[in-house]
Amino acid sequence: MSIFGRLLGFLRPYRGAVVWSFLLAAGAMGATVLLPYLTGRAIDSIRASNKHELTTWAIAIAVAGLVRLVLSVLRRLVAGRVSLGVELDLRNRLYEHMQRLELSFFDRQQTGQLMSRATVDLQAVRFFLGYGLIFIAQSALTIVLAAIAMFLLRPELAVLALIPVPFVILIANRYGHRSRPAIQEVQQRIAELTADAEENVSGVRVVKAFAQEGRQMQRFAGSVSRVFEQAIIAVRIQALYTPLLGFLPNLGLAAILLVGGREVIQGSLTLGAFTAFYAYLLMLISPMRTLGYLLGAGQRATASGARIFQILDRAPAMTTPEGAPALPAGRGRVELSGVGLTFQGTSHPALCNIDLEVEAGRTVALVGGTGAGKTALVSLLPRLYDVSEGSVRIDGADVRSVDLVSLRHQIAIVTDDPFLFSATVHDNIAYARPEASREEVEHAARVAQAASFIEALPKGYDTLVGERGLTLSGGQRQRIAIARAVLADPRILVLDDATSSVDASTENEIKQALQTVMAGRTTFVVAHRLSTIALADEIVVLEDGRIAARGDHDELLLSSPLYREIVEKGMPDQVFMTMKPQEAEVAGL
């Protein structure tokens, strides 16, 4: 099906309203077409000095004008309802579909590009479906009715007046073919501009920290220039065809004035009939002139529709069997068997042949260098990514075979760069469980050692945090994220370097709190700061996507050169001080 045909499908729920809109438009146009005839009769009454007929025709003109007014108002109300309804449905469908797409899709997309489709492109589609189609139908009906009235008045003059119409249709068709690719490219350039603007605003702290405002301005100016250059191409096409479409009907107007005017002078045509005929011809000119604009709007809507359908047509790569059962009851036993993971667009595997069993309630620390696969491994548990090979099982169930919502409700993740919404502190903590009471939220904050600084905020738990939580410090954001995870009450807890942005004193407080939170829960600790491994029952050392060693701290110091190297390079002084003398000697410290 064509893009245009698919766009018309969004009008299906509003079939009744669309029909009413067309009927109201037809009625308004009928009254409009009647006005020139009534005006002509009134002029003939004036020439005949017939006051009674003049009064009758004047009243008829007023009634016809009133009917047109009422029907036009109703038509605009109905069309506006259709337009906004299409926008509502399309926006919801687009957002819902994006929510179902896998995380890897967003890894490869610019936020600004997606926002452009959800705003600029959607507005173009909404305007055309809600108003453009009605305007086109109204213009076509105007041309047909006016042409019929002209033939009834004077057939030979009607033929003369309508000679330009076929040329108008041909030129309009040519205009549509030329303008569509140009307008589509403009839409793409606008999307790139939106992406640059979004990136610049999101990274404003980095821009200012490195005093790169000038560089960003140059980059943005380049994007603006590309939009301008492409828009100029579209404007040139419009500048050529739109005036031409307006000029051709004027040829018919000139011919009618010449021929019809002579007939009035000769007495073979009354002045009233000529006035009516002239009014009908003017009525034809306006729709012909707007034809270019309407075609341009149609081309923009089609181009925008193609960009929207690029997203809607992308089937989610991560699927769950229909009627999949919930994650079975259990305490969080995890089993990874022969797991491999290769991200889309890359050739080197992030994980390779991982075999790992973690009994329920145990805490495992994952250590290794940057790119070793620590975060990739824990991302498989809530199925943020699907394994390329092997399987991940939680309490005996393959994560690919259970309901995704039930799976993720049982896993809470705290990352090294936690995201907070532009909402209150309370709402950010309660995001995991919106139905949670105020007491439960405050308890979670106390467990995460966040209550003291929250209560010191201007409005306490009702304080609004800035976009992405930038009005809070890194440590404050992490403690709120930990509170959010505590409130979720999961059976599996993932701490992805969750104490990286806090000082040593706060880290110690959080670790003491986490010991309570982790009790009875299976916990994975991604440790970049090695002081956090003190919380673990077992340590897994990863290297280049493989398990290089596993065991407790003492065993690994004796058996794993890689772990000893990590200890030497990464362990903070306060952890050195907690080591036994023989451990320090083995580690070479």
pLDDT score for 499: 66
Q: How many residues does the chain have?
A: 589
Q: How far apart are CA 503 and CA 473, in angstroms?
A: 11
Q: What's CA 546's distance to the chain center, in Å?
A: 37
Token duo for residue 210: 């490195």
pLDDT score for 289: 67
Residue 571 DSSP SS3 = coil
Domain boundaries for CATH 3.40.50.300 within the chain: 328-410+538-589
pLDDT score for 575: 40
pLDDT score for 248: 78
If one counts every other C-beta atom within 10 angstroms of the C-beta of residue 74, the result is 17
Please state which architecture CATH assigns to domain 3-178+237-312: Up-down Bundle (1.20)
* Residue found by looking up tokens 């404050």 in the block: 476
Do 175 and 235 touch, CB atoms closer than 8 A?
Answer: no
Do 288 and 245 touch, CB atoms closer than 8 A?
Answer: yes
Residue 99 DSSP SS3 = helix
Phi/psi at 392 (5° precision): -120, 125
**The dihedral formed by the CA atoms of 535, 540, 545 and 546, expressed in degrees to the nearest 10:** -170
Phi/psi at 361 (5° precision): 85, -5
pLDDT score for 577: 34
Domain boundaries for CATH 1.20.1560.10 within the chain: 3-178+237-312
CA angle 266, 261, 57 (to 5 degrees): 95
Q: Which residues of the chain have pLDDT under 70?
A: 1, 176, 202, 204-205, 208-210, 289, 291-293, 296, 467-470, 498-507, 509-510, 512-513, 516, 528-531, 570-589
What's at 393, amino acid-wise? R
Q: How far apart are CA 503 and CA 488, in angstroms?
A: 25
Q: How far apart are CA 539 and CA 536, in angstroms?
A: 7
pLDDT score for 529: 65
> Which alpha helices (DSSP H) does 163-270 contain, by range?
164-202, 204-209, 213-266
* Residue found by looking up tokens 């996507």 in the block: 545
Q: How far apart are CA 226 and CA 207, in angstroms?
A: 23
Please measure the distance between the N-terminal and C-terminal CA atoms of the chain and give it in whole angstroms.
Answer: 71
Kindly write down the DSSP assignment for every residue of 363-377, as one continuous string.
Answer: EEEEEESTTSSHHHH
pLDDT score for 54: 85
Report the topology of domain 328-410+538-589.
Rossmann fold (3.40.50)
Q: How far apart are CA 376 and CA 472, in angstroms?
A: 28
What Rg do the C-alpha atoms of the chain give, in angstroms?
Answer: 36
Whether the pTM exceeds 0.95: the reply is no
Token duo for residue 13: 């729920």
| 336 sits in which H/E element | strand 334-341
Q: What is the DSSP secondary structure assignment for residue 550, as one 8-state letter? A: E
pLDDT score for 503: 65
